[in-house]
Amino acid sequence: MHNPTFPEWVFLLGGVRWTIALSIIGVVMGGVVGFAISLARTSERFKFLRTVTATYIGIFQGTPLLLQLFVTYYGLALIGFNITAWVSVAVCFTLYASAFLGEIWRGSIDAIPKGQTEAATALGVSYWVRMRKIILPQALRISLPATVGFLVQLIKGTSLAAIVGFTELTRSGTIVANQTFTPLLVYGGVGVVYFCLCWPLSIYGSRLEARLAASDSSNR
């Protein structure tokens, strides 16, 4: 047993870049898919799309992320898709994030007063113009606090990727702890790093929420 050396701390901190990279992939790719889901969930003409996307969201919100990682990594291998741990977790976090972001943004779109949609329709404004210039700018503003809050959860959720051998921050900490036999010290350091990543985002999300509430109060 020995205290972690400088190279071991460097190795541990090296996992941070993969934690951040995985979080960015989840938010960006999940955001693209989630945006399409939010539009499908609020579709007025295509009930089939609403049903399919509601089922999709129900599956990914109703099952543990750990189970989704197992299914993505081991399940795909069973049917002949031999993919790396990196590709597996990237796909899994994209699907996971898209379900939550799609529902967050769906709620924000639905929060816009229906009178605005009816007025735009009465004036002959097309669906895409109405969404781009009237509905989505307001919905984006409403959804920001919840989106930032989900990003915090996603960053912490990346720790589960270690279960399939993906070497992010938690996995790096496990390797160092096994080498030094000082798990309390090592995992304490890992916790500090997660706190430094998540706490500023949590504060930012709280300020956005307070600013939004103050703006709504002044407009009444």
pLDDT, one tens digit per residue, over 87-140 is 889 999 999 999 999 999 999 999 888 888 888 878 888 888 888 888 888 898
Average pLDDT of the residues in 62-74: 91
What pLDDT was estimated at residue 127? 80
Tokens coding 212? 């939004």
Closest by CA position to 84, among listed 161, 184, 7, 185: 161
What pLDDT was estimated at residue 217? 58
pLDDT at 73 over 70: yes
What pLDDT was estimated at residue 35? 95
Tokens coding 219? 């407009």
The tally of CA atoms less than 13 A away on the side-chain side of residue 7 is 1
pLDDT, one tens digit per residue, over 8-61 is 899 988 999 999 999 999 999 999 999 999 999 988 778 888 999 999 999 999
pLDDT, one tens digit per residue, over 138-174 is 898 889 999 999 999 999 999 999 888 888 999 999 9
Provide the Cα torsion 155, 160, 164, 165; round to 10°. Answer: 70
Would you kindly state where each structural domain of the chain is located, as residue ranges?
Answer: 6-219
Closest by CA position to 87, among listed 29, 145, 1, 33: 29
pLDDT at 63 over 80: yes
Report CA-CA distances (Å) from 103 to 30, 40, 96, 137, 164.
12, 11, 11, 17, 27
C-alpha–C-alpha distance, residues 100 and 150, integer Å: 8
Tokens coding 181? 């036999």
C-alpha–C-alpha distance, residues 143 and 93, integer Å: 20
pLDDT, one tens digit per residue, over 176-217 is 999 988 899 999 999 999 999 999 999 998 888 888 777 665
C-alpha–C-alpha distance, residues 190 and 6, integer Å: 15
What pLDDT was estimated at residue 218? 59
Q: What are phi and psi of 3, to 5 degrees?
A: -65, 145
Which fold is adopted by the domain 6-219?
A: MetI-like fold (1.10.3720)
What pLDDT was estimated at residue 195? 96
CB-CB contact of 41 with 53 (8 Å) = yes
